[in-house]
């Protein structure tokens, strides 16, 4: 739940976030865009992105459930730690620059017409468009940009504010120019990081507390505004016909829907029944059994509902059962590896997933950043200084999870797990595994939805064979989120969604400094100076080749740490939607593009109604 909410909290940031190379992307004059390693696909006079249709009609609703796992909301403030924020709040706020979804990490001017990076790369100045304004007609100025940076750094969600630690200051040079200053050596991310922050109205927050939950629709400058909502049930955003930036090149053909509607349901069964009843229009199906068996319905057979697989060229990231090493029972790596041996993916994939998934092996799955085979010369150069601190397996073929015989209880693997547990001091007495103090080995799997119970139960059965008592603790979404924030769990499922050019967010995922910060995404509590050093190598890479090499080295070390039981992935989106939409001929390579580029087709909708 918290991971899903975090993705929403920083959706405007992570969608837009690009990276900047301190060597290759230095601009001697203002540039219309920035990218990680200096390459921009679109020239200064581009008319629109290639993946949009500039003639797309405007209007009509898109009703959806949004991100899986979010079942309620109690706040319209999406940038603080408190509360459960509604989905879609990122569409209320503009940023200085916006991501191009057909490039790995390039961003182009929105509120900022251009960006000028200093020769020493320790500062960047953004030149604002004079026509930028908030939805109430008030002018958007450099003071608003400076205020937004300061308030996020001071009172924003830790996952945002901590990324800004090396941004020293933001200064309004005049009403139309803002200069950010940086410190340290790992500054590649920082110009694009600040370019991707949401912009708030300084005047609006002069009479409101930024760090408090609220149900008052906030003032923004983006393409949508809140139309209405029912707390915890539904929220509707309406497209602003008076949106100041609707005709800019970065917005041509984008945001075509007249309304964006997010519906909330307490469980997946209710969600699916509501889709069949046309209560909402579109869902991404994350349950393989449902995708394989539950869409054999008249609406799909007759073409009224479309069932489609969209390719996903983004890294698949890392999904797994993450083990909380703040609990002493998980402190020994042999214990963690034994738990990996007890999970039978092959049986699960065949019997519960209809063989629709692949096994996740890497923290950088489905990308060139994934470590494979023995490390090359460049990887060894990064790893050798730490040889005395690393296990030998890091310098050979990287660890991959075991392949079972698919029986559900592979005795060979369970014997290996038994041996590891015994070596770690957990022995079996009277059928129960205990440590030297006589404490029983128990594991609580924390969940908020019943969907995972059928997957966890066979895992628990295998743990029972090992003498470990496993049980499932299902709590309501609000309690789940709070327990994750405070690291009050044994094992929980999560997915790290990685960018094509990962950067400072890796500190939040796996960095030692984040291990004990409430709300951090370092759920396992990883504290490893080697991991920290390699994260900095990824952040400081000066070319994509260097980045891939550093990420592979980091991947090897993380996988050797056995901080998780890897789960599964598929490099695609399983989409089901009612046949009332059209879209451009080209899908953006690095995104679904649904909200940004599709449109409501009135002819299809009328036919569907008939």
Residue pair 200/147 in contact (Cβ under 8 Å)? The answer is: yes
Output DSSP code: residue 123.
E
- Which contiguous run of DSSP H or E holds residue 298? helix 298-301
Q: Which pLDDT score, from 0 to 100, does residue 543 have?
A: 92
CA dihedral 381, 383, 388, 389 (to 10 degrees): 160
Per the model's pLDDT, the better-predicted residue between 5 and 80 turns out to be: 80
CA–CA separation, 25 vs 450, rounded Å?
A: 48
| Among candidate residues 562, 566, 565, 564, the one with its CA nearest the CA of residue 391 | 562
Q: What would the 3-class secondary structure string for 590-606 be?
A: CCCCHHHHCEECHHHHH
The backbone torsions φ and ψ at residue 565, rounded to the nearest 5 degrees and listed phi first, read -110, 105
Edge-to-edge strand order for the sheet containing 33-34? 33-34, 107-109, 97-99
Model confidence at 19: pLDDT above 50: no
Residue pair 331/540 in contact (Cβ under 8 Å)? The answer is: no
Model confidence at 23: pLDDT above 60: no
16-32 as b/e: b if 16+ CB within 10 A: bbbbbbbeebebeebbb
Over residues 142-171, the pLDDT tens digits come to 999 999 999 999 999 988 888 898 999 999
Domains of the chain: 2-262+575-599 (3.40.190.10), 318-569 (3.10.105.10)
Residue pair 556/383 in contact (Cβ under 8 Å)? The answer is: yes
Q: Which pLDDT score, from 0 to 100, does residue 246 have?
A: 97
Tell me the H-state helices in 189-301. 190-195, 268-276, 288-293, 298-301
Q: What is the DSSP code string of 169-213? A: EEEEEETTEEEEEE-SS--SSHHHHHHTS----TTGGGGS-TTS-
Q: Which pLDDT score, from 0 to 100, does residue 37 have?
A: 86
Model confidence at 184: pLDDT above 80: yes
Q: How many C-beta atoms surround the C-beta of residue 210 within 10 A?
A: 19
CA–CA separation, 436 vs 57, rounded Å?
A: 70
Q: Which pLDDT score, from 0 to 100, does residue 4 have?
A: 41
Here the tokens at position 567 are 């789960």
Provide the pLDDT confidence category of residue 68 given band limits of 50, 70 and 90.
low
Q: Which pLDDT score, from 0 to 100, does residue 284 have?
A: 93
Here the tokens at position 70 are 């979010």
Residue for token pair 């490893």: 528
- Compute the C-alpha angle 8/227/141, nearest 5°: 70
Q: pTM of the entire structure?
A: 0.84
CA–CA separation, 17 vs 281, rounded Å?
A: 29
Q: Which pLDDT score, from 0 to 100, does residue 13 have?
A: 44
The backbone torsions φ and ψ at residue 523, rounded to the nearest 5 degrees and listed phi first, read -65, -30
Q: What would the 3-class secondary structure string for 450-519 be?
A: HHHHHHHHHHHHHHHHCCCEEEEEECCHHHHHHHHHCCCCCEEEEEECCCCCCCCHHHHHHCHHHCCCCC
Q: For 212, how many CA atoms within 13 A lie in the half-sphere containing its CB?
A: 7
| Among candidate residues 599, 609, 589, 600, the one with its CA nearest the CA of residue 50 | 589
pLDDT (mean) for 415-440: 97
Sign for the CA dihedral angle at 191, 210, 234, 607 comes to negative
Residue pair 579/304 in contact (Cβ under 8 Å)? The answer is: yes
Residue pair 124/177 in contact (Cβ under 8 Å)? The answer is: no
Sign for the CA dihedral angle at 367, 369, 371, 376 comes to positive
Q: Which pLDDT score, from 0 to 100, does residue 319 have?
A: 93
Here the tokens at position 8 are 């929403």
Q: What is the mean pLDDT of the chain?
A: 92
CA–CA separation, 255 vs 246, rounded Å?
A: 9
Residue pair 554/528 in contact (Cβ under 8 Å)? The answer is: no
Over residues 227-236, the pLDDT tens digits come to 999 999 999 9
Over residues 240-273, the pLDDT tens digits come to 999 999 999 999 999 999 999 999 998 888 899 9
Here the tokens at position 69 are 């796992």
Could you tell me whether strands 177-182 and 234-239 are parallel, antiparallel, or unpaired per DSSP bridges? unpaired
Report the share of the chain in percent with pLDDT over 90.
80
Q: Which pLDDT score, from 0 to 100, does residue 269 have?
A: 86
Over residues 482-529, the pLDDT tens digits come to 999 999 999 999 988 888 899 889 999 999 999 999 889 999 999 999
Q: Which of 123-137, 492-506, 563-577 has the lowest average pLDDT?
A: 492-506
Output helix, strand, coil percentages for the chain, rounded to the nearest 5.
30, 20, 50
Over residues 305-338, the pLDDT tens digits come to 999 999 988 888 789 999 999 999 999 999 999 9
Q: Which pLDDT score, from 0 to 100, does residue 22 have?
A: 34
Residue pair 95/84 in contact (Cβ under 8 Å)? The answer is: no
C-alpha Rg value of the chain to the nearest Å: 25
CA–CA separation, 333 vs 344, rounded Å?
A: 19
Residue pair 336/559 in contact (Cβ under 8 Å)? The answer is: no
Sign for the CA dihedral angle at 396, 399, 405, 411 comes to positive
Report the share of the chain in percent with pLDDT over 70.
95
Over residues 378-395, the pLDDT tens digits come to 999 999 999 999 999 999
């Amino acid at each position: 739940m918290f991971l899903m909410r975090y993705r929403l909290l920083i959706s405007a940031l992570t969608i837009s976030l690009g990276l900047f190379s301190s060597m290759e992307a230095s601009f001697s004059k203002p540039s219309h865009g920035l990218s990680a390693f200096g390459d921009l696909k679109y020239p200064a006079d581009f008319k629109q992105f290639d993946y949009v249709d500039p003639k797309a009609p405007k209007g009509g609703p898109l009703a959806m459930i949004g991100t899986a796992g979010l079942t309620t909301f109690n706040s319209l403030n999406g940038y603080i730690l408190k509360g459960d924020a509604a989905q879609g709040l990122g569409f209320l706020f503009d940023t200085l620059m916006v991501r191009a979804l057909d490039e790995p990490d390039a961003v182009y001017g929105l509120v900022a017409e251009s960006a000028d990076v200093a020769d020493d790369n320790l500062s960047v100045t953004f030149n604002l468009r004079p026509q930028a304004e908030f939805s109430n007609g008030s002018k958007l100025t450099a003071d608003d940009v400076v205020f937004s940076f300061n308030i996020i750094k001071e009172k924003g969600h830790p996952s945002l504010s901590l990324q800004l630690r090396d941004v020293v200051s933001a200064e309004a040079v005049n009403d139309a120019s803002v200069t950010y200053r940086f410190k340290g050596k790992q500054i590649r991310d920082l110009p694009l990081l600040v370019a991707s922050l949401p912009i708030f109205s300084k005047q609006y927050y002069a009479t409101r507390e930024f760090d408090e939950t609220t149900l008052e629709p906030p003032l923004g400058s983006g393409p949508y505004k809140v139309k209405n909502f029912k707390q915890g049930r539904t929220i509707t955003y309406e497209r602003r016909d008076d949106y100041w930036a609707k005709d800019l090149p970065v917005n041509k053909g984008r945001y075509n829907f007249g309304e964006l509607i997010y519906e909330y349901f307490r469980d997946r069964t209710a969600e699916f029944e509501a889709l069949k009843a046309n209560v909402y229009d579109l869902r991404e199906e994350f349950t393989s059994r449902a995708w394989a068996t539950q869409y054999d319905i008249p609406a799909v057979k007759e073409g009224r509902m479309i069932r489609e697989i969209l390719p996903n060229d983004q890294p698949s990231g890392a999904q797994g059962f993450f083990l909380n090493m703040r609990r002493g029972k998980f402190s020994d790596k042999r214990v963690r590896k034994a738990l990996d041996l007890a999970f039978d993916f092959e049986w699960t994939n065949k019997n519960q997933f209809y063989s629709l998934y692949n096994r996740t092996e890497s923290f950088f799955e489905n990308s060139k950043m994934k470590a494979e085979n023995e490390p090359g010369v460049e990887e060894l150069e990064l790893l050798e200084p730490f040889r005395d601190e690393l296990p030998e397996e890091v310098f050979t073929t990287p660890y991959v999870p075991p392949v079972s015989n698919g029986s559900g209880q592979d005795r060979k693997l369970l014997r290996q797990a038994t041996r590891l547990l015994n070596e770690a001091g957990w022995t079996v007495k009277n059928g129960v595994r205990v440590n030297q103090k006589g404490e029983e080995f128990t594991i609580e799997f924390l969940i908020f939805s019943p969907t995972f119970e059928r997957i966890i139960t066979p895992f628990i059965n295998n743990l029972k064979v090992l003498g470990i008592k496993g049980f499932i603790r299902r709590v309501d979404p609000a309690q789940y989120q709070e327990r994750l924030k405070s690291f009050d769990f044994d094992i929980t499922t999560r997915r790290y969604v990685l960018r094509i050019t990962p950067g400072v967010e890796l500190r939040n995922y796996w960095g030692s400094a984040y291990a004990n910060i409430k709300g951090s995404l370092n759920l396992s509590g990883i504290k490893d100076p080697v991991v920290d050093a390699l994260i900095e190598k990824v952040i400081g890479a000066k070319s994509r080749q260097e980045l891939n090499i550093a990420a592979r080295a980091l991947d090897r070390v993380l996988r050797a740490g056995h901080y998780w039981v890897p789960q599964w992935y598929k490099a695609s989106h399983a989409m089901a939607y009612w046949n009332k939409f059209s879209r451009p001929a080209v899908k953006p390579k690095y995104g679904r593009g649904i909200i940004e580029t599709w449109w409501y087709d009135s002819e299809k909708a009328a036919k569907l109604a008939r």
